[in-house]
Chains A and B, each alone.
Chain A
Amino acid sequence: MRITYFNTLAIALLAPVLFTPLYAADADAATDRMGQLEARLIAMEARLATAEQVQPAPSSVSEARIAELESRLADAEQETKEVKALAATGGNVPSSSVLGRGAAFDIMANSAWRNLRWTQPEQWETVRPGVSVETVIDALGSPPRSVKSLKPRVDEVFYYETSIRDDSNSLRGKISFRKGQVLTVQKPNF
C-alpha cells in the first residue's frame, strides 16, 4: 500500500476506535505495578534508614595499608626532590663554590671545629702542666672566657665551658697559667 495523504488520514481516524479497549486493560496493570514498586521503595528506604543508624566497624587492615601507602608516598616525594636538586646542578655539587652546599657545610664544620674542639676528650691529651699558652690554644682553641687571676701565683685562667650560668648540666674545663705556662689543668667531666 502506498502511503498517501488519504491512507494516513484514514488510519488516524480508525486508530482510537480500534485500540481503546486494549489501552484500558494495560493502564490497570501499570497502576498495580506502581503500587508494588512504591511499597518496595518504602521498604528499602526503611532498611536504608536503619542501616544508616548503625556505624560500620572500622577496618584496621585498611588503615594500616593507608598509612603504609602514605609513608611510601612521602619517601617517593623526597627522593623526587633530591633527584630534581641533583639534576639542577648537573649531578655535581661544587665543593669550592661559596654558594655550594658542600662549601657551606665545610665552613660550618670548620668553624665549629675551631670553636668547639675542646669538647672532644682527645684534644686535652696534650694539655699538661708546663706547656705554653700557644700549645693550649692550638689544641683547644681560644677560650670562651678567661680572667686575669687575683691569686698570687696564678697569672691567668682559661675557662672552657658550654655555659657560664648552668653549672649542673654543662661541660667545664679550667686551665691556669703562670708566666705563660700551664700551672694546673682541670679537664671537663666527659
Chain B
Amino acid sequence: MKNKIAIASAFIAASSFSFAEIALTENISVEGFVDMSYSHSDADNGAQGAGNESDNSFGIDQVEIDWLFSFGNVSAQVDLEYEELNGGTNVEQAFVNYSLANGDVVTAGRYATMLGFEALEPTGMYQFSGAYTVQGNLLTAARDYVQGVKYTRTSATTFFGISLQDQSFGNDGDRLGGDNDAQQGIDSSYAVEVAGSMDLGNGFTVFAGGAFENAESGDNQLLNAYVTYETGAWLFAAELNLEDNESNNAGNANGDIDVTSYLLMANYAYSDVASVTGRVSSVDVDIDGNEVLDGTKLTLAHNYAFSDNLALCAEVSHVDGDIDPLGLGNIDAEVTSFAVELLFTF
C-alpha cells in the first residue's frame, strides 16, 4: 500500500491523466475498484442496556469507477461510486483541470480536500478503518469532498494549494456565496482551504494546512499537520488536528466544540507483497470547555497482495474511551472490532 501524501506519489498522481489506467481511446481512460469486507465488533459501555451489543456485517462497502479525460492542457475526472454507508450511487468527484503554461493547475468542480494524512479511498489506506472512526462513525466534522475552485503549484520537492469552496465542515453546502434562504437575509457562506508540503530529503516529508469556514451558523476552522519518514521498508507517520467548531450542527445551539485528534503510525513491508501496520490514534471532544469524549484507538493491520490488482487486509482494533455527553459523569466504553477486507482494483 502506498502513502497518498508521499510527495513523489502526489506528483505522479497529479500527472496521471497521461498515464491511462485502462485506455479506452487516446483521450479517455477508466479506473476503479471494488471494496468488500466482513467485520465483527463488540461494544461494552460498562452498563446494561443500549450500547452493549455485537454486530456482524458482510457486504460490498464501495464500488467506484473513475472516468479520466485528457485533451492537452485540459483534463477532467468524474468519479462515480456506490457506497454502502451513504446508501446509494453518487458522484464522488467531478472536476476540470486547466494546466497553465508554467505547470500550475486550476481546478473547478467537486474534488477531495487537500487535508489529512489518511487516504479517502480504501486503495490508499494502510488499514481497513480510519484513525478517527468508531464503528464507521467519523468523530470529526471535517468533510472529505468539497465544491469550488482550486489553484495548485507543484515542483519536484514542494506542493502548494489554495481552494475557495462552499464548505469544509458540512455547513451551507452547495451555497458558495450564500443565498436568500439564510435566516438573517442574504448571508455570506464560504470556506477557504490552504495546504503546502515539502520533501525535506532523506525520507522526510512535512505537510501543513488549514481550513476556515464562514457559515451562517458560525465560523469553523481546522489546522492539520503531519510528517512522514520513510526508510527502507519502514514508513512512519505522525499527524495532529486542531478543530474549532462554532456551528450548531452537533445539536448544541451555541456550543463551542473543540476537537483535538492525532495519530501515530508505523508500517513495515516485510516482503514484496505483504506489510504490517500499527497505529495509535486519539480523539478528544470538548463542548464549552467540558470534555464529552476522550477516546484512544489501537489498530493492528496486515495487508497481503495476491497480485497488483487484488489485496486482502485483516485488521483488529480496540477503542477505549470515556463518554460524558450530558455532564453526568464519565461512562467507560470499549469497542473491539475485527475486519477482513478484499480489495480489487483496475
Instruction: Tell me, rounded to whole Å, the shortest Cβ–Cβ distance linking A151 to chain B.
Output: 4
Please determine whether A152 and B273 come into contact, CB atoms closer than 8 angstroms: yes
Write the chain B residue with the least CB distance to A157.
Answer: B308
Check if B112 is an interface residue, CB within 8 A of chain A.
Answer: no
Please determine whether B23 and A152 come into contact, CB atoms closer than 8 angstroms: no
Assuming A150-B308, A150-B343, is B23 touching A180 (CB within 8 A)? no
Please determine whether B31 and A143 come into contact, CB atoms closer than 8 angstroms: no
Check if A142 is an interface residue, CB within 8 A of chain B.
Answer: yes
Complex formed: what's the CA distance from A149 to B306 in Å? Answer: 11
Please determine whether A133 and B272 come into contact, CB atoms closer than 8 angstroms: no
Please determine whether A142 and B20 come into contact, CB atoms closer than 8 angstroms: yes
Please determine whether A156 and B309 come into contact, CB atoms closer than 8 angstroms: no
Write the chain B residue with the least CB distance to A164.
Answer: B22
CB-CB contacts below 8 Å: A145-163 with B: 145-158
CB-CB contacts below 8 Å: A18-52 with B: none
Chain A residues within 8 Å of B305, by CB: 149-152
* Partner among A115, A151, A154, A156 whose Cβ is within 8 Å of the Cβ of B19: A156
Complex formed: what's the CA distance from A129 to B310 in Å? Answer: 24
Residue of B271, B273, B274, B303 with most chain A CB atoms under a 10 A cut-off? B273
Please determine whether A133 and B311 come into contact, CB atoms closer than 8 angstroms: no
Instruction: Tell me, rounded to whole Å, the shortest Cβ–Cβ distance linking B15 to chain A.
Output: 9
Residue of B2, B26, B275, B310 with most chain A CB atoms under a 10 A cut-off? B2
Assuming A142-B20, A156-B12, A179-B8, is B309 touching A147 (CB within 8 A)? yes
Assuming A146-B20, A147-B21, is B12 touching A154 (CB within 8 A)? no
Assuming A155-B9, A156-B12, is B308 touching A149 (CB within 8 A)? yes
Complex formed: what's the CA distance from A85 to B295 in Å? Answer: 84
Please determine whether B310 and A150 come into contact, CB atoms closer than 8 angstroms: yes
Assuming A147-B308, A147-B346, A179-B8, is B1 touching A152 (CB within 8 A)? yes
Complex formed: what's the CA distance from A147 to B311 in Å? Answer: 13
Chain A residues within 8 Å of B123, by CB: 148, 150
Q: How many residues of A contact B (CB 8 A)?
A: 23
Check if B18 is an interface residue, CB within 8 A of chain A.
Answer: yes
Check if A144 is an interface residue, CB within 8 A of chain B.
Answer: yes
Please determine whether A151 and B8 come into contact, CB atoms closer than 8 angstroms: no
Write the chain A residue with the least CB distance to B308.
Answer: A149
Complex formed: what's the CA distance from A143 to B233 in Å? Answer: 28
Assuming A147-B308, A148-B123, A179-B8, is B21 touching A153 (CB within 8 A)? no
What 1/0 mask marks residues of chain B from 256 to 290 whose CB sits below 8 Å from any chain A CB? 00000000000101011111000000000000000
Check if B133 is an interface residue, CB within 8 A of chain A.
Answer: no
Please determine whether B22 and A145 come into contact, CB atoms closer than 8 angstroms: yes
Residue of A115, A142, A144, A149 with most chain B CB atoms under a 10 A cut-off? A149
Please determine whether B20 and A143 come into contact, CB atoms closer than 8 angstroms: yes
Assuming A147-B31, A147-B346, is B23 touching A154 (CB within 8 A)? no
What 1/0 mask marks residues of chain B from 300 to 332 whose CB sits below 8 Å from any chain A CB? 000101011111000000000000000000000
Please determine whether A142 and B19 come into contact, CB atoms closer than 8 angstroms: yes
Assuming A145-B23, A180-B12, is B308 touching A152 (CB within 8 A)? no
Complex formed: what's the CA distance from A153 to B11 in Å? Answer: 18
Assuming A133-B12, A142-B23, is B345 touching A147 (CB within 8 A)? yes
Would you list 10 pairs from A and B whose C-beta atoms are within 8 A, ordered by A residue?
A142-B19, A144-B22, A147-B309, A147-B345, A150-B123, A150-B311, A151-B272, A154-B272, A156-B19, A158-B19
Chain A residues with a Cβ under 8 A of chain B: 115, 133, 142-158, 164, 176, 179-180
